[in-house]
């Protein structure tokens, strides 16, 4: 009885093993289910996306050159102004009095010059007369008296020169006082619009010092020429050049796309975070400012609006391309008595274990995935440009992501191009 049970159990085990072997064989014959795609030519556009804000090309923050109370404010925010228009007036009373004192000082200095001139003329005549008498009769005028007359002449001449310098000094003080008086009237430096007004009539304007930037009274900007200032990551900066065309989306203008041109690329990064001894900031991210000049900005475009820019860094017409998801890394097969070297047309990177890895795709040949190293060019939104390694018409594994990660060179595959699978 026990022997019969053993035989029955052994028979069941054999049947199970046979079915398992058949299932494994069928699974191998079927291969890994993948999505395939035939290599073809496409037009590719390489884009760098960055965000930032809108600003006028020319904008002036107007500050006071003299301190005082604002007694006349002639503009409101949003007003359009011409160059030279009066924007506001600071109380001129103190500066008017200073200019009057300076005028009086000039008049006094000129009177001093007149007096000094008369004294100098008298001293010169006296010295000349003394010298003439001394020459005719030395006994009447001694040498000491002659020296005294000549000395007095020189002294009066020097006093005249000092008085003339006093006039120049007084005139300089007058010009300074008049200049400060003129600065109580603040005018528009250019044509534009008042985009920011920070003061009201009756407030006091403060002059900036070393530790105090002073009061920004208002801002005048020329809104005819507008720019977008975006922050670009350091890894993308080498791809961008002055003159690159750009498309922009502004949050305030939905369903509208604007165009522009890169006009400026910063040569130093945006300062942010605490600096270390090496000069690098503690913040991991390093960004650079890129300025984009907008083509035909709308009249109602305002500064400081948020924007997102797509900067077109390269364009390729009709080039071989592969889906971005298809590109993967594989370890090369070791060759005996040969040192692996980086060959042209291949990207070699180090894997997690320190071994070199090749960048490439899986080409499907007779339902078998063959890894082939490739050299890529620019990256579009969904496709890489292929420079070397593939030919038009080659069939590659284009998904799914998990299937590509699991594939090995020589694995059998089964094509299933069901679009519902996705690239997950």
Residue 299 C-alpha from the chain's centroid: 25
| Spatial distance between the Cα atoms of 399 and 416, rounded to a whole number of angstroms | 10
Report residue 203 as tokens: 């407030």
| Spatial distance between the Cα atoms of 116 and 132, rounded to a whole number of angstroms | 24
What average pLDDT does the segment 230-249 reach?
94
Q: Which CATH class is domain 30-43+318-335+342-421?
A: mainly beta
Where does the pLDDT of residue 337 fall: very low under 50, low under 70, confident under 90, or very high at 90 and above? very low
Between 184 and 208, residue with greater pLDDT: 184
DSSP, collapsed to helix, strand or coil, labels residue 85 as coil
What pLDDT is stored for residue 136 in this prediction?
84
Integer angstrom CA distances of residue 358 from 286, 347, 403? 29, 6, 18
Q: In whole angstroms, how large is the CA radius of gyration of the chain?
A: 44
The single-letter DSSP state of residue 52 is E
What pLDDT is stored for residue 32 in this prediction?
84
What average pLDDT does the segment 283-295 reach?
88
Where does the pLDDT of residue 329 fall: very low under 50, low under 70, confident under 90, or very high at 90 and above? confident
Of all residues in the chain, the percent with pLDDT exceeding 90 is: 59
What pLDDT is stored for residue 26 in this prediction?
43
pLDDT digits (tens, 9 = 90+) for 351-391: 444 457 889 999 999 889 999 999 999 988 889 999 999 99
Between 256 and 3, residue with greater pLDDT: 256
Q: 32-38 and 413-415: which strand pairing?
A: parallel
Where does the pLDDT of residue 406 fall: very low under 50, low under 70, confident under 90, or very high at 90 and above? confident
Report residue 264 as tokens: 């400026």
Least confident of 43-57, 144-158, 161-175, 280-294: 280-294
pLDDT over 50 at 233, yes or no: yes
Nearest CA to 176 out of 124, 103, 252, 125 is that of 103
Specify whether the CB–CB gap between 230 and 52 falls below 8 A. Answer: yes
Of all residues in the chain, the percent with pLDDT exceeding 70 is: 81
Nearest CA to 280 out of 230, 234, 231 is that of 234
Q: Could you give the residue ranges of the DSSP H alpha helices within 52-92?
A: none
pLDDT over 60 at 273, yes or no: no
3-state secondary structure 224-274: EEEEEEEEEECCCHHHCCCCCEEEEEECCCCCCCEEEEEEEECCCCCCCCC
What pLDDT is stored for residue 416 in this prediction?
78
| Spatial distance between the Cα atoms of 171 and 113, rounded to a whole number of angstroms | 13
| Spatial distance between the Cα atoms of 424 and 419, rounded to a whole number of angstroms | 12
3-state secondary structure 189-208: CCCEEEEEECCCCCCEECCC
pLDDT over 60 at 274, yes or no: no
pTM above 0.85, yes or no: no
What pLDDT is stored for residue 68 in this prediction?
92
Helix, strand, coil shares of the chain as percentages rounded to 5? 30, 35, 35
Q: 185-187 and 86-90: which strand pairing?
A: antiparallel
pLDDT over 90 at 15, yes or no: no
């Amino acid at each position: 009885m026990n022997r019969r049970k053993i035989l029955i159990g052994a028979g069941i085990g054999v049947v199970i093993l046979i079915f398992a072997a058949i299932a494994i064989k069928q699974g191998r014959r079927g291969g890994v289910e993948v999505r395939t795609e035939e290599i073809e030519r496409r037009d590719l556009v390489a884009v760098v996306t960055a965000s930032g804000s809108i600003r006028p090309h020319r904008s002036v923050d107007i500050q006071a050159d003299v301190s005082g109370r604002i007694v006349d404010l002639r503009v409101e925010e949003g007003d359009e102004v011409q160059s030279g228009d009066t924007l506001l007036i600071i109380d001129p009373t103190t500066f008017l009095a200073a200019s009057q004192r300076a005028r009086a000082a000039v008049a006094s200095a000129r009177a001093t010059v007149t007096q000094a001139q008369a004294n100098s003329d008298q001293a010169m005549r006296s010295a000349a007369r003394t010298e003439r008498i001394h020459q005719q009769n030395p006994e009447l005028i001694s040498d000491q008296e002659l020296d005294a007359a000549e000395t007095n002449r020189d002294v009066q001449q020097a006093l005249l020169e000092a008085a003339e310098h006093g006039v120049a000094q007084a005139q300089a003080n007058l010009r300074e006082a008049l200049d400060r008086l003129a600065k109580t009237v603040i005018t528009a430096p250019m044509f534009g619009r008042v985009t920011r007004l920070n003061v009201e009539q009756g407030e006091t304007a403060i002059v900036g010092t070393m530790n105090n930037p002073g009061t920004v009274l208002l801002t005048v900007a020329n809104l005819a020429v507008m720019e977008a200032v975006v922050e670009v990551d350091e890894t993308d900066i080498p791809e961008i050049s002055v003159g690159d065309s750009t498309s922009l989306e502004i949050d305030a203008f939905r369903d509208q796309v604007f165009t522009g041109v890169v006009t400026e690329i910063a040569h130093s990064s945006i300062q942010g975070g605490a600096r270390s001894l090496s000069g690098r900031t503690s913040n991991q991210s390093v960004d650079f400012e890129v300025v984009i000049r907008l083509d035909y900005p709308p009249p109602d475009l305002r500064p400081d609006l948020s924007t997102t820019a797509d900067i077109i860094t390269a364009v390729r017409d009709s080039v071989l391309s592969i889906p971005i998801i298809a590109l993967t890394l594989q370890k090369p097969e070791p060759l005996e008595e040969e040192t692996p070297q980086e060959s042209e047309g291949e990207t070699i990177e180090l894997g997690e274990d320190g071994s070199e890895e090749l960048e490439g795709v899986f080409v499907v040949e007779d339902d078998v995935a063959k890894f082939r190293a490739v050299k890529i060019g620019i990256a579009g939104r969904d496709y890489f440009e292929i420079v070397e390694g593939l030919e038009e018409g080659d069939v590659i594994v284009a998904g799914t992501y998990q299937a590509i990660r699991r594939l090995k060179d020589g694995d059998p595959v089964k094509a299933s191009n069901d679009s519902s699978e996705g690239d997950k």
